[in-house]
Amino acid sequence: MKCNIEGVVIRELKRYDDERGWLLELFRHDELDAEFHPVMSYVSMTKPGVARGPHEHVDQADGFCFIGPSTFRLYLWDNRPDSPSHGVKATFDLGDSNPALVVVPPGVVHAYRNIGEGEGIVYNAPNRLYAGEGRRAEVDEIRHEDDPGSPYVLD
């Protein structure tokens, strides 16, 4: 799967089903550039109709895995002035029927909304620690969802 925003990586995740259930391999260090290797991970559940974001990071890259059991609409906007795709917006529907890993580089504004009918799970493996070592640093996050005049609007 290709994205028209420079530096965004989208890799479809292959689901392996058998009589026990299923397995998704989320990432491998040998298939991910070293600059995006995770240093922590978390899982979030998002209720139907609820959005997270839009926000961006100055230094952090996110490694989102949209695995279901619902469907999410992912929104991306390139906010990097020196990027060849500066100002480009992209959207993707990912999750249960289309599981994917999405690496969002710093400076790319991102948000997602659960557009399915049930709760959905998103796994994130960013390349920086939230609030730094020992949670003593400022959080690397520019929260556009708190700005009523933000140009980053979800459909």
Residue ranges in the chain modelled with pLDDT below 70: none
Domain presence at residue 32? yes
Largest CA distance in the chain: 51
pLDDT at position 1 is 87
Domain presence at residue 71? yes
Distance, CA of 5 to CA of 15 (rounded, Å): 26
The residues, any chain, with a CB within 8 Å of residue 8's CB and separated by 6 or more, are 76, 90, 102, 103, 104, 105, 108
Structural domains counted in the chain? 1
> Can you give the CATH number for the domain in which 38 is found?
2.60.120.10
User: For residue 15, what are the domain limits?
Assistant: 9-146
pLDDT at position 61 is 98
Model confidence pLDDT, tens digit, residues 126-139:
999 999 999 999 99
Distance, CA of 76 to CA of 104 (rounded, Å): 8
pLDDT at position 49 is 97
Domain presence at residue 1? no
Model confidence pLDDT, tens digit, residues 54-74:
999 999 999 999 998 999 999
Distance, CA of 70 to CA of 120 (rounded, Å): 5
Both tokens assigned to 128: 């920086």
Domain presence at residue 153? no
